[in-house]
Amino acid sequence: MEKQEQQKVSRLVFVLIPFQGHINPMLQLATILYAKGFSITIIHPQFNSPNSSNHPEFTFIPISDNLPKSQVSAGDLFGIVSALNKNCEGPLTECIQEMLKAEDPHDRISCIVYDSTMCFSQSVADHLKLPGICVRTSPAATMLAFAVFPGLHEQGYISFLESMSLDRVSDLLSLMLKELAASMKKITTDGVLELRAAIADSVKKCSALIVNTVDFLEQEALTKVEELFSASAFTIGPFHKLVPTISSSLLKEDTNCISWLNKQAPKSVIYVSFGSIASIDEKELLETAWGLANCEKPFLWVVRPGLVRGSNCLELLPINFQDSVGESGCIVEWAP
Q: Does the pTM of the predicted model rise above 0.85?
A: no
Report pLDDT digits (tens) over 16-53: 999 988 999 999 999 999 999 999 999 999 988 998 98
Let me know whether 135 and 71 are in one domain. Answer: yes
Task: With a cut of 90, say whether residue 166 has pLDDT above it.
Answer: no
Half-sphere exposure of 191 (CA within 13 A, CB side): 11
How many Å apart are CA 81 and CA 38, to the nearest integer? 29
Domain assignment of residue 249, yes or no? no
Bigger pLDDT: 246 vs 141: 141
Report pLDDT digits (tens) over 90-143: 999 999 999 999 888 888 999 999 999 999 999 999 999 999 999 999 999 888
List the catalytic residue out of 22, 44, 55, 153.
Answer: 22
- Highest mean pLDDT pick, 80-84, 177-181, 207-211, 319-323: 207-211
Task: Report the relative pairing of strands 39-45 and 233-235 from DSSP bridges.
Answer: unpaired
How far the first Cα of the chain sits from its last, in Å, is 49
Let me know whether 204 and 121 are in one domain. Answer: yes
Let me know whether 154 and 39 are in one domain. Answer: yes
Confidence class of residue 185 from pLDDT cuts 50, 70 and 90? low
Let me know whether 125 and 214 are in one domain. Answer: yes
Q: Average pLDDT for residues 71-91, to the nearest whole number?
A: 84
The domain in which residue 154 lies consists of: 7-241
Let me know whether 51 and 121 are in one domain. Answer: yes
Q: Residue 226: give its domain's CATH number.
A: 3.40.50.2000
Question: Nearest-5° angle of CA 237, CA 239, CA 242?
Answer: 100
Let me know whether 96 and 166 are in one domain. Answer: yes
List the catalytic residue out of 65, 115, 153, 201.
Answer: 115
| Residue 22 annotated among the catalytic residues of the structure | yes
Work out how many domains the chain is built from and give that number. Answer: 2
Say what percent of the chain tops pLDDT 90. 49
Let me know whether 236 and 285 are in one domain. Answer: no
Let me know whether 105 and 219 are in one domain. Answer: yes
Let me know whether 217 and 299 are in one domain. Answer: no
Q: Where are the alpha helices (DSSP H) in the chain?
A: 2-7, 20-35, 69-73, 77-87, 89-101, 120-127, 145-148, 177-184, 190-205, 219-229, 256-262, 282-295, 313-316, 321-325
Let me know whether 154 and 280 are in one domain. Answer: no
The average confidence (pLDDT) of the chain is: 83
Domain assignment of residue 250, yes or no? no
Let me know whether 142 and 282 are in one domain. Answer: no
